[in-house]
Structure 1
């Protein structure tokens, strides 16, 4: 009888350790993913049509998304 109780206790303990390990791994993964994403440079298109990478800390506001026809008139063509 005592052997069966010990097995149940050990099984529960293993399950608890496994769940705690998975939970801590998921929390660490989410935090690491957010930190990595914040430091990535953003690719943007300049007025003359060149692609540049800009650090996100230089942005002051979110701005708005421009429409396709505004984009066509905004880009200056090279002569």
Structure 2
């Protein structure tokens, strides 16, 4: 029975399954019964990348990212 839950969200252009190995770094006993989830963002055009379609949780308007440089999809 899981005692804790980790929802791991990947970065721009990455995928959930590519991040799954990170859980092997959490070796302390507190993580023994942890349930992990590694979802993948949907593919969307990303403004800062000239509209290139890639896995993205939201549209990034510019880099560096500031409080006003993103848009919800």
Q: TM-score, normalised by structure 1?
A: 0.19
User: Higher RCO, 1 or 2 (CA under 8 Å, sep at least 6)?
Assistant: 2
Q: Between Structure 1 and Structure 2, whose CA radius of gyration is higher?
A: 1
- Greater strand content: 2
Structure with the larger helix share: 1
TM-score if structure 2 supplies the norm length?
Answer: 0.20
